[in-house]
Chain A
Amino acid sequence: MNYVVLILGMALITWVIRAAVFVLGDRLVFPPLVRTALGFVPVTVLTAIIVPMAVSPHGADAGAELTWRNPQLVGALAAVAASALTRRPLVTIAIGLAVFFVWQCVVLR
């Protein structure tokens, strides 16, 4: 019972954080500086999520693995190259995944 209260509280907090700006919507007008800043959110946040995953796949304690023996890093670099050359999401994802799995299963065997 207690845990149910805890979980529902977490749900409420999460929902309000995610939906508040949506729901305030029309009443909320961002000044130009904030709008400029928000334009940088997608590239920064998505990069900030994936760089640690690719560079130190075994966590912060294991540290940086800047070596060709790190399949996450090799796959990520392949995906970056594929995206820069083709700009096509599906091609990028396919090449990135293929390089990653081939690297992990064949090259490093």
Chain B
Amino acid sequence: MTRSNHLKEFTAGARDIIPMMIGAAPFGVIYGTLVASGPLQLWHGQLMSLVVFAGSAQFIALGLIAGHASFAVIWATTLVVNLRHVLYSATLAPHVAHLPARWRWALGALLTDEVFAVAWEHYRHREPGTVGPHYFFGAGLAMYLNWQCWTIAGLLFGAAFPGLQSLGLDFAMVATFIAIVVPQLVALRYIAAAVTAGTLAFLWQAWPYKLGLLAAVFAGVVVGVLLSTPGLRSRRSRRSAEASR
């Protein structure tokens, strides 16, 4: 592939994640504002955005730091809150397996909820191993720089934007995820899995550390797998019947 093709892929990734960047803006500003009103120095807050780059984990850490939790508790919480990323990387793994290790480390570092959604939408119509890293990287880097900008804005001017949360900019994320999910609901098993996960995530949203989300996803996946198994079995028995003929 040529260099200009790489650039085209990179730009396409950055472009497709723009709605997510709008959606993340209020969270970045609110995060920065919370840092400014807590025990951390401003540069600590920026450092966290630079090296952790995980919205929910950063918010929860701020709460725990303010509550004088021990480092071990904060690290364990970070682990639990970010567990869903294992699912993301396992889902995308076939599409990055052919890349050099440095690319896989870099793409892994950028793998947030939003980047996963956009990268998956790009990969799912393509054969694993046929797509380079540039689209994924473009989406991830754009999201990363966006998060840094809104963190700074919150740290410096957060107090000047009261009521940012009530603007509802996070709805951009809802709309984008819907645009990705609905076209995938092509069979009953996908619809059942999504309805299960959505309903339980709503009912269990008060569980701490995003565990309700994780459990809801798990339940949805189980429903999907259960509905897939009879099909697999009949196909397998058909195949063995053909083989014995």
Chain A residues in the interface with B (C-beta under 8 A): 3-11, 13-15, 17-23, 25-26, 28, 30, 33-34, 36-57, 60-61, 64, 71-72, 75-76, 79-80, 83-84, 87, 89-90, 92-93, 96-97, 100, 104
Contacts and interface: CB of A to CB of B under 8 A. Distances in A.
Nearest to A26: B97
Contacts, number: 255
B53 interface: yes
Given A17-B86, A21-B86, A97-B175, A53 B170 contact: yes
Contacts of B74: 6, 10
A87 B183 contact: yes
Interface in B180-228: 180-185, 189-190, 193-202, 205-206, 213, 216-217, 220-221, 224-225, 228
Contacts of B141: none
A41 B120 CA distance: 11
Interface stretch (B3-11, B105-113, B146-154, B156-164): B105-113
A20 to B, nearest CB: 7
B175 A46 contact: no
A81 B235 CA distance: 34
Range of interface residues on B (Cβ < 8 Å): 35 or more
B37 interface: no
B82 A43 contact: no
B36 to A, nearest CB: 15
A10 B48 CA distance: 8
Interface centre among B101, B111, B168, B185 (most CB of A within 10 A): B168
Contacts of A13: 75, 78-79, 82
Name B's interface SS: helix
Contacts of B195: 47
B173 interface: yes
B172 interface: yes
A64 B206 CA distance: 12
A87 to B, nearest CB: 5
Contacts of A79: 174-175, 178-179, 182
A18 to B, nearest CB: 4
A6 B53 CA distance: 14
B117 A46 contact: yes
Given A18-B88, A21-B93, A41-B87, A36 B228 contact: yes
Nearest to A43: B194
B145 interface: no
Nearest to A45: B217
Interface string B32-46: 000000001100100
Contact of A48 (B109, B116, B171, B216): B216
A70 B51 CA distance: 36
Contact of B177 (A9, A25, A46, A97): A46
